[in-house]
A and B are shown apart, each in its own frame.
Chain A
Amino acid sequence: MKRGNIKLMQGNEACVEGAIAAGMRFYSGYPITPSTEIAEISAAKLPRIGGKFIQMEDEIASIGAVIGASLTGLKSMTATSGPGFSLKQENIGYAAMAEVPCVIVDVQRGGPSTGLPTSPAQGDVMQARWGTHGDHPIIALSPYSVKETYEITIEAFNLSERYRTPVIILMDEVIAHMREKIEIPDENEIEIVDRLKPKDKAEDYNPYEINDGDLVPAMASFGEGYRYHVTGLVHDINGFPTNDSKIAESLINRLTKKVEENTQDIVKYDEYFLEDAEIALIAYGGTARSVKSAVDMARKENIKVGMFRPITIWPSPEKQILELAKTVKKIIVVEMNLGQYYLEVDRIAKKSTDVYKYGRVNGELITPDEILSYIKEV
């Protein structure tokens, strides 16, 4: 371990560091608490490393510019919080439909509406999945430490490039503003994934044609000589709009399948004391820190509990949650909302075990003590 690589930083800073390590060279954003440091740090760093930073006139423009920049080949990111995340939804759907890689960071805060701007929350879990209209794939990741924020941001870029889809990083105010020691890995230790480029000559290139059984088409950048069309309308393999119901069905199915069929390649999770657990706590992001402490406290009292922590929120680690449900007597989902991920866990696990929820929406953290009490109650 090189001493110089050990740094003290907050989650928002780790997010930018991870993004730059992943190859981010374009950032556009709009100021919003509690994500603003991501824009500020990007503004300071990107011009110095050959990257581009622009503060746009609003949240919608920020995601629009990100998509435009990504089409020229630059790895691009924007960051926001609840209200801004709502505003960006239409264009997140556009990125999903047109298959433009990009990363959207949502540092969750209390809602709905302006809500509690400086307080943590995890109320955007379902918005991340279903915020835009129509059926579409999405990948959402939620880090629970500063170090993991760094790693997850790299992963987010890799997944967005690999699957040509928007990837959402669901942070929360706890992780965003918490300072921790992290070790920045050497450049050559970081795995970087780049989008698949076309092998065809420009005249043979069909921008939405898939090859070799891969559900993800190769992507040319604007300006490289492949003059093609990109639209949010249902389109054929050439990118041109069509009303053909067969083409519409096959496109939407392919978009969905490219994530669904690769769920096991995408999902990441963490397990803590689950081997002999009778009760499994499921938590993610900042809340998982309290849950981890609660597990430690419970174990001291010989209560057999453990924690399952999805790092990939969407697609959900369905297989793993189902396995878990078969081995434990009860599952408790702990989250800073009134039971959003609970709905997903309950859907997967309810046939095998009882699923309970413990949530909070008043802007205060859920403490280990109260989780322990709830474990005893259940």
Chain B
Amino acid sequence: MPKKTLKQLQVNKEWCKGCGICVAFCPRDVLSIKDGKVNIEDIDSCIECGQCELRCPDYAIYLGGKNK
């Protein structure tokens, strides 16, 4: 199911500054902060709403990868 893979939640820990905005506003509690960085806690609950990506100030979390 490549389409599903493309939309999957991606995290770039190097860019994450650990502000916690994505964690706080995730409607399904998918995320947590671990060692100062965002961590995907429960990917199965993710509904791919993209709220985290919209509000991440650091472009460290997003849906899908690069379309190649």
A–B contact via C-beta, under 8 angstroms: no
